[in-house]
Amino acid sequence: MADKKRTYLVTGGAGFIGSNYIHYMFDKYDDQIIIINFDKLTYAGNLANLSDVEGRDNYIFVKGDVTDRKDVSSVFEKYDIDRVVHFAAESHVDRSIVDPEIFVRTNVLGTATMLNCTRDAWQQEDGSFIEGKRFLHVSTDEVYGSLQEPKEGEEPSYFYETTPYDPHSPYSASKASSDFIVKAYIDTYGFPANITNCSNNYGAYQFPEKLIPLMIHNALEGKALPVYGDGKNVRDWLYVMDHAKGIDMVMEKGKLGETYNIGGHNERQNIQIIHTILDTLMELLPPEDTRRMNVSKDLITYVTDRLGHDRRYAIAPDKIKSEVGWEPDTCFEDGIRLTVKWYLENEDWVNNVTSGDYQKYYEEMYSNR
């Protein structure tokens, strides 16, 4: 009998990072694996992100809700799952400030439901888990809270896996809670899981509510570029394919039960990011492209700060480097060019996701800011 193909259950695979991860995995493993993409298709989920893999016979899409026990358990009944990669979440801080409840439901209850159903499928009568099964919970560096900007002559501080959790936004609090539930499963049942806490991602297929795609989209349309507060908040940016690579490596080489921080030491102030985007647009847009006329530094507009706005995030990736051998392949200069180029070449994708509800969201979020 031929070996069974390793079967992945990927939750939230139609979102930004999930769809990039699925692309990464098929590029790397081709027909050696089976991927089941389980997604509710909220505003952030888009099957067009995966149109190129739809025809594969080792790719299956299941529409379902991670908070719904029946939806999740029916996948386990139908398929022999070897790996769960849990991306599905509400992911945008600004939305969490307006409507925290859905974040608690999806991120906390959804993770608990995923853990429960996975445990039902994988735990044996003697309490042990079937050999070789693994669950990876995808989380964020935002659970660690906010770092100070280093003062002149001072060593900068970083988030380590041992840094105490100190979340501030409803989003990060819900992700912190979900991490604790995963840790509780590891400690209580010996559940075979890892947690990864990654810094801010950027790349293709990111919904234009997040900083980088929003600024690219607005600049091309000649719309204001809304900078929160003084624009000097710092984020640590990682190209999304390097995150996908980190998840795969932790799944295969990480020590079970451990948490790994993922980040590439690429700290930038928001205002620097915006200038880089404008410069890259001017570099890549050909002279005859009419969108070039819209792109201008005059669009930069300082607006009211985000409530509870974390000042600085910065990951220390020492553990994943030394224990797993991961390091990023794409530097920011290359990654941002690839990203801007992708948005320039995929205007239809952007127009599609920014029609309908996006207009309403944009009005609500920015009109009185």
Does 258 qualify as catalytic in the annotation? no
Q: How far is the CB of 235 from ligand TYD (least distance, A)?
A: 5
Q: How far is the CB of 69 from ligand TYD (least distance, A)?
A: 29
* Pairing label, strands 267-269, 234-239: antiparallel
Q: How far is the CB of 46 from ligand NAD (least distance, A)?
A: 7
User: Of these, 34, 81, 227, 281, which contacts ligand TYD (CB under 6 A)?
Assistant: 227
Q: How far is the CB of 137 from ligand NAD (least distance, A)?
A: 8
Report the partner that residue 233 touches, choosing among ligand TYD, ligand NAD, none (CB closer than 5 to 8 A by kind): ligand TYD
Does 141 qualify as catalytic in the annotation? yes
Does 189 qualify as catalytic in the annotation? no
Report the partner that residue 228 touches, choosing among ligand TYD, ligand NAD, none (CB closer than 5 to 8 A by kind): ligand TYD
Query: Within positions 268 to 287, which residues make up the interface with ligand TYD, using CB under 6 A?
Result: 270
201: contact with ligand TYD by CB under 6 A: no
113: contact with ligand TYD by CB under 6 A: no
Query: Assign residue 203 a region: left if phi > 0, alpha if psi is -120 to 50, beta otherwise?
Result: left
Q: How far is the CB of 4 from ligand NAD (least distance, A)?
A: 26
Order of strands across the sheet with 83-86?
A: 59-63, 33-39, 6-11, 83-86, 134-140, 193-198, 259-262
User: Of these, 20, 107, 233, 354, which contacts ligand TYD (CB under 6 A)?
Assistant: 233
Catalytic residue among 59, 158, 171, 205: 171
23: contact with ligand NAD by CB under 6 A: no
Q: How many residues bind ligand TYD, per CB under 6 A?
A: 12
Residue placing its CB nearer to ligand NAD in the complex, 158 or 207: 207
Q: Strand pairing partners for 234? A: 269, 312
Residues whose CB is less than 8 angstroms from the CB of residue 31 and which lie 6 or more positions away in sequence, other chains included: 5, 56, 58
Cβ atoms of 104 and 92 closer than 8 Å: no
Q: CA–CA distance from 348 to each of 2, 92, 105, 217, 354 (Å)? A: 42, 23, 32, 12, 10
Residue with tokens 């921080």: 261
For residues 186 and 19, give the distance between their C-alpha atoms in angstroms, rounded to a whole number. Answer: 27
Treating both helix axes as pointing N-terminal to C-terminal, what angle do 69-78 and 110-122 enclose, rounded to 10 degrees? 30
Cβ atoms of 298 and 232 closer than 8 Å: no
Query: Within positions 253 to 272, which residues make up the interface with ligand NAD, using CB under 6 A?
Result: none
State both tokens at 299.
Answer: 């669009």
85: contact with ligand NAD by CB under 6 A: no
Query: Within positions 100 to 129, which residues make up the interface with ligand NAD, using CB under 6 A?
Result: 106, 110
Catalytic residue among 82, 90, 141, 310: 141
Q: Strand pairing partners for 33? A: 6
Measured in degrees and rounded to the nearest 5, phi and psi for residue 12 equal 70, 30
Please identify every residue annotated as catalytic. 141-142, 171
By CB under 6 A, name the binding residues for ligand NAD: 11-12, 14-18, 39-42, 44-45, 65-67, 87-89, 91, 106, 110, 138-140, 175, 198, 200-201, 207
By CB under 6 A, name the binding residues for ligand TYD: 93, 200, 210-211, 214, 226-228, 233, 235, 270, 306
